Amino acid sequence: MNYKRNIIITGGAGFIGNHVVRLFVNKYPDYKIINLDKLTYAGNLANLKDIEDKPNYKFVKMDICDFEGVYKLMQDEHVDGIIHLAAESHVDRSIKDPFTFAQTNVMGTLSMLQAAKLYWESLPEKWEGKRFYHISTDEVYGALELTDPQGIEPPFTTKASSGKHHLAYGSKFFTEDLKYQPHSPYSAAKASSDHFVRAFHDTYGMPTIVTNCSNNYGPYQFPEKLIPLFINNIRHRKPLPVYGKGENVRDWLYVEDHARAIDLIFHKGKVAETYNIGGFNEWKNIDIIKVVINTVDRLLGRKEGEDMDLITFVTDRAGHDMRYAIDSTKLQKELGWEPSLQFEEGIEKTVKWYLDNQAWMDNVTSGDYQRYYEEMYKGR
Ligand code: NAD
Ligand code: DAU
């Protein structure tokens, strides 16, 4: 079959990637979606069980740093769009092993860019109809100051932001024109990759787009990140390691809302632009942890709050960024995106998903998920 578009999504077996792959495969049956993923510890094909047999979906196990392999794949599949999510994504790991982050996030992105450049430049129509969309993080902007919470009037109303919890912990927000000031090896590597993407537009004319999103939460997140780790620990009554005093603020967005934004920006975003993605939803870690404890307790039929004593304050993360807060006005105003869920709904759905999918969690924590690929794809 001739597809209308042939799109590579990198990192499609990871947390955000699987939601983006699922959305595109289901919404666009006339697009071929090629999930290019190395299947590191963070990649799990079981995340995509429900769509793996769809005719417009193909999985390719490949390292984004394998320039020759990536270039050949682009040629073989006549790729005209790239949505690049593959990365090392966990700040704590970057503190222990910065080299892997530079290799994957910087060199891997460069390998994707250069392969796309060589392939697209070799075609008669060159850049026309092509798009290289790079998914990045708000952490590249550094950290914002922390003040007492204040009610804010965001420049627009969203279903998510009209909820009960609507506070800002400072008067400054991350806007697209802010200078990059990354602090961790993770965010330094992501910042560098963003610069390379823009350089490929400015130098060669490649049609690129960059987006910087806030913390995502939702189903299929690897349980080394705050929310799934804590849900699982509460279930098993294990200590909850809260870094420092739990005062740090993060701006949380439901992962499917991020995937919807990616779809919109891939199709309607302006070339060479940057868009920030976030739902004006700031929470102190300690407050979100209390909400998670209450929700898990209630859904498990325990007395709400009975697991509060699992909270254990531990040594702070080195260089721990104090506050992230995204201003997504540009995306809202120019492309009409808004988050669909209030945080209270999103967290309820998320906790319920992890409790209902204990087999998925056990598979990940036992390491069994890494054998899924061999079983599913042998002989293919
Ligand atoms: P994740 O760690 O859950 O998944 C990363 C995926 O990339 C995995 O499937 C992994 O196997 C794959 N991968 C890693 N190295 C690879 C390589 N060398 N070649 C091919 N595949 C490789 O990450 P995530 O949380 O889903 O984040 C996805 C992207 O979104 C990242 O670029 C991250 O910086 C960005 N982001 C994440 C968040 C968040 O809250 N999770 C927020 C904003 C931006
Ligand atoms: O802001 C976007 C970023 O959000 C993404 O770019 C990253 O890929 C993603 O991992 C996330 O980074 P954080 O470092 O904010 O997420 P994490 O879940 O690791 O931590 C959230 C907050 O909770 C942070 O302030 C550290 C704290 N924390 C985390 C863990 C894992 C704890 O207190 N204890 C923990 O055990």
Q: What is the pLDDT of residues 153-183, one digit of tens each?
A: 655 555 555 555 567 899 899 999 999 999 9
Name the region of 336 (left: φ>0; alpha: ψ -120 to 50; beta: rest): left
Give the pocket of ligand 2 (CB within 6 Å): 89-91, 137-139, 214-215, 225-226, 229, 241-243, 248, 250, 285, 317, 324
User: Among candidates 255, 247, 235, which has minimal Cα distance to 296?
Assistant: 235
Question: How far is the centre of ligand 1, averaged over its atoms, from the C-alpha of 155 (Å)?
Answer: 30
Nearest CA residue ID for atom 19, ligand 1:
63
Q: Is the whole-model pTM more than 0.85?
A: yes
Question: What tokens does 375 get?
Answer: 């079983």
359 contact partners, CB below 8 Å, separation of at least 6:
none
Q: Given the CA of residue 224, which atom of ligand 2 is nearest to it? A: 31
- Residue 32 has which token pair? 């071929």
Q: How do residues 52-93 score in pLDDT, each as one tens digit?
A: 999 999 999 999 999 999 999 999 999 999 999 999 999 999
Query: Is 186 noted as a catalytic residue in this protein?
Result: yes
Q: Kindly report the protein residue whose alpha carbon is nearest to atom 35 of ligand 2.
A: 226
* 138 catalytic residue (yes or no): yes
Is the C-alpha dihedral spanning 327, 217, 165, 156 positive or negative? Answer: positive
pLDDT for 372:
72
133 is catalytic: no
CB atoms near residue 350 (< 10 Å): 23
The pLDDT-based confidence of 24 (bands split at 50, 70, 90) is very high
Centroid of ligand 2 to alpha carbon of 225 (angstroms): 6
